[in-house]
Amino acid sequence: MAVYAKTSVPPRARTLPGRYYTSADVHQKERERIFTRRWLCVGREEQIRNKGDYFLAESAGESIIVVRGTDGQARAFFNVCRHRGTRMCEVPSGTFAGAIMCPYHAWTYALDGKLTAARNMQDLEDFDKADYPLRTVALANWEGFLFINLTREADTFDQDFSSLLGRFAQWRIGETRIARSITYELSCNWKLVFQNYSECYHCPLIHPALDRLTASTSGRNDLMRGPFLGGYMTLRDPGTSMTVSGHTDRPPLGEVAGDELDRVYFYTIFPSMLLSLHPDYIMAHRVYPLAVNRTKVVCEWLFDADTMAKPGFDPSDAVEFWDMTNRQDWHVCELSQAGIESVAYAPGPYSNQEGLLYEFDQHYLAALGPPLDA
């Protein structure tokens, strides 16, 4: 059974040195040591519902094709032809008509990655199509979310995510569907997005509408160390919801009941995802570092599929509330980036309300590896 507690920080806990937010060298090492080695959320299984459906995922500078095969199995491949390395697919999503063909010389691959046709190569004595399948990428499905890993095998996912498997069963996340998606581009380092999400020290000042619904000091956390961090905040009034009006007519998700009806859970899933569990909907942010000072965030709102099918379903009360809250957060993250880039910046002290930020820093530094020179 989960045990929830307030966070705290050890004596002399300080924010990270500025170079971790401003150095191109650090950014490159993050790509090599973190984003090519960790499981990264790239989308939802519903995006490839039918055979041949695909979408492109961008990760650590790589383009990845995520596709539903003719056998119904989801797979991921590097978007690189085995002939001369051409990027084969440019359209972000769609449906393949049974095969993936390189536009340069028409090398053609089945949806399971096998090379099926290579023009004018049959007269080469040492050429065998079986030697040139598309390079695969490990793909895993957790609660309907698809994760890729550029360097590990798919069978390691359950081990790496062991503390999350089954943890949110009552929400039945896998049965929810995307109702709305908004993409944001921020002028700040990706870590500031994670750190901002992990504390409500700023909420009374930055989010007055949010603060009216949930007290900034109500946070209690059950995951307080490692790659997954978070817990819940309590709604000020029973039966309310994080919407524009503070109320909703939607029924609870899945088997959500009891105390869960008056709580909202917030978790960071290092290094690519922020997950918010509400009584009546799910919100998920996918975080993509574009440069040391630029980040793309894709925010999706998920609802029960049966609720979405009912006449008059409208997710805008939740979407508008969080779009406003997101933009407030993004603005202050950009202000943080601007200040950290100043010669006046020096690491400052964390408060006890920022305990998850300190733990994020510790896990991040361990994942990054040996200390970097100033």
Report CA Rg, the chain: 22
- pLDDT at 372 (0 to 100): 56
From 32, 38, 136, 119, select the one nearest 83 (Cα to Cα): 119
Same domain, 54 and 178: no
345 assigned to some structural domain: yes
Question: Residue 93, Cβ neighbours under 10 Å: how many?
Answer: 13
Same domain, 176 and 154: no
From 185, 183, 201, select the one nearest 334 (Cα to Cα): 185
Same domain, 238 and 360: yes
**Domain containing 131 — which CATH number?**
2.102.10.10
**Domain containing 218 — which CATH number?**
3.90.380.10
Pairwise CA distance, residues 32 & 151, whole Å? 10
- pLDDT at 374 (0 to 100): 42
- pLDDT at 340 (0 to 100): 98
- pLDDT at 373 (0 to 100): 52
Which of 111, 128, 158 marks a domain boundary? 158
Note the pTM of the prediction, 2 decimals: 0.96
- pLDDT at 122 (0 to 100): 87
Pairwise CA distance, residues 154 & 152, whole Å? 7
362 assigned to some structural domain: yes
| Full 3-state SS string of 64-84 | EEEEECCCCCEEEEECCCCCC
373 assigned to some structural domain: no
Same domain, 49 and 29: no
Same domain, 95 and 184: no
Which of 158, 183, 217 marks a domain boundary? 158
8 assigned to some structural domain: no
Q: pLDDT tens digits, the chain, 374 residues: what are they?
A: 789 999 999 999 999 999 999 999 999 999 999 999 999 999 999 999 999 999 999 989 999 999 999 999 999 999 999 999 999 999 999 999 999 999 999 999 999 999 999 999 988 989 999 999 999 999 999 999 999 999 988 889 999 999 999 999 999 999 999 999 999 999 999 999 999 999 999 999 999 999 999 999 999 999 999 999 999 999 999 999 999 999 999 999 999 999 999 999 999 999 999 999 999 999 999 999 999 999 999 999 999 999 999 999 999 999 999 999 999 999 999 999 999 999 999 999 999 999 999 999 999 999 999 865 54
Could you tell me where the beta strands, DSSP code E, fall in the chain?
40-44, 53-59, 62-68, 74-78, 93-95, 99-101, 108-110, 115-117, 136-142, 145-149, 176-186, 220-224, 228-234, 263-269, 273-277, 282-291, 294-304
According to DSSP, residue 214 is labeled: B
374 assigned to some structural domain: no
Pairwise CA distance, residues 150 & 39, whole Å? 8
Q: How many domains does the chain have?
A: 2
Pairwise CA distance, residues 248 & 35, whole Å? 38
Q: What residues make up the domain containing 153?
A: 40-158
